[in-house]
Each structure stands twice: as C-alpha cells, then as structure tokens.
Amino acid sequence: MHMEHIPEIAAGQLVRAPLVPSIRPPVLFLLHGYGSNAEDLFDLAPALPPEFLVVSLQAPLTLFPGQYAWFPLDWSSGTPIANPAHVSTARTVVREWIATFLKDAPVDLERVFLLGFSQGAILSLAVAPLLTLKGVVALSGRFPHECAPEDSSLSGLRVFMGHGESDPAIPIDLARRARARLEQGECVLEYEEYAHGHGISPQEAMDVSAWLASALRSSSC
C-alpha cells in the first residue's frame, strides 16, 4: 500500500502504514478523548498489530489550541452532561468520515475496527451500528445513552472494553453498566478492569494489541 493512496478525511489526522506488505490491509480508526488530539492515541501505534493501517482522527470541535472534542459538555452542574443532539451530530460526522475513507482507500472492508478512549470510546459504541465493523475497542468509556443503539444492532459485534478501577472522570460503575448493556445486546465482549485511573496502562495496551491480533486471525478464517 502506498501512502499517497490514503485519503485525508479530517484535519490533523495521523496515519501509520501497515508494517507488513498488503494490498488491502485491515484498518483501525482511533478516536481520542475530550480535550485531546490525534497525537494522543497515535502513541499506541507502535504497540498495535503490524498488519493494521492505523488512522488517528482528530475531533472537529476546538476547545483550546491543541485540544479538541467530538461533542461539547455542559459542566454547569459540576458533572459533565452531553446534549443528545450534539452526540448524534458527532456520530453522523464520524460515520461520514469513515464511510468516505473506506470508499476511497484500498483497505479490507471486512476488517474495519474502531478504538476509542473516553469520549472517543462513547462515540465508537454509538457509531458502531451505523458501520460494518469487525470490532470495537472502548477504553475508559461508557454506554452512549444519549443515542443508545438498539440491542439487536449490537448482536455479534466484537468488543473489547477496558476501564480503570479508580477512574475519576468516568467512574467504574458506568463501565460496568455498559458491560451489562453490551451483554444484553449479545456482543462478543471481553471486559477487563485495571488498577489505574483515567488512562491506559502498559498492561491494558498489551491486552488491546493481543485482542486485536486475535480478532484479525478469527476474521481471516
């Protein structure tokens, strides 16, 4: 695959080409968290399976220089609250970005994955039913109740969900509720908790990479 064949669908996007030769590689889209940028999750790229074309997207809403969000949050009550209309708009934007990329890029359309952190994890779970995906990695997130997908639309979707036990931003209880909803929707779910806060530990990164590698092997059978 030649890098000149990779379409730019979002300002600030970062791309890691597959590290093994492939005419149509699997693709992994990264969705960062609130107040971050495309460079944040891109730091995971060296640890991800070499087969992947990795595309780190940058959210369109500017909070401050170098800080972006997929949808705004209302902090007036002391607890961040998302407007369902804003979440729905973000979901539409990401779906259209990814659909455009998949139309124009020489990738394997049967091996498309999302990996989101925090707000990006929420959005990944929200947009998953609108795309044909092989799997979703949702880290330090929660269920997107603002635009909750029907349980039937989640059936069979592979999901890895990881969360810090002492997460102060999105408490672990919200992750456990999300686990229950995903199990209710008959996802093929792997759920892990880690002894850290709102972040990604080295062990969690290793588990994510192993899960993605396993999902690739199963999808090629």
CATH number of 3-219: 3.40.50.1820
- What are the pLDDT digits (tens) for 158-213? 999 999 999 999 999 999 999 999 999 899 999 999 999 999 999 999 999 999 99
- What are the pLDDT digits (tens) for 111-147? 999 999 999 999 999 999 999 999 999 999 999 999 8
pTM assigned to the model: 0.94
CA nearest neighbour of 51 among 173, 212, 221: 212
Looking at residue 118, its pLDDT comes to 98
- What are the pLDDT digits (tens) for 137-147? 999 999 999 98
- What are the pLDDT digits (tens) for 44-100? 999 999 999 999 999 999 999 999 999 999 988 888 899 999 999 999 999 999 999
SS3 58: coil
Q: Is the pLDDT of residue 110 over 80?
A: yes
Looking at residue 92, its pLDDT comes to 96
Looking at residue 151, its pLDDT comes to 65
Contact predicate 17/100, CB 8 Å: no
- Dihedral-angle region of residue 108 (phi above 0 means left; psi in -120 to 50 means alpha; beta otherwise): beta
Sequence-distant (6+) residues with CB within 8 A of 219 are 26, 110, 111, 134
- The first and second tokens of residue 99, run together, are 């659909």
Per domain, the residue ranges of the chain are 3-219
CA nearest neighbour of 41 among 16, 73, 22, 71: 16
CA dihedral defined by 127, 133, 135, 137, rounded to 10 degrees? -30
Calculate what percentage of the chain has a pLDDT beyond 90: 83
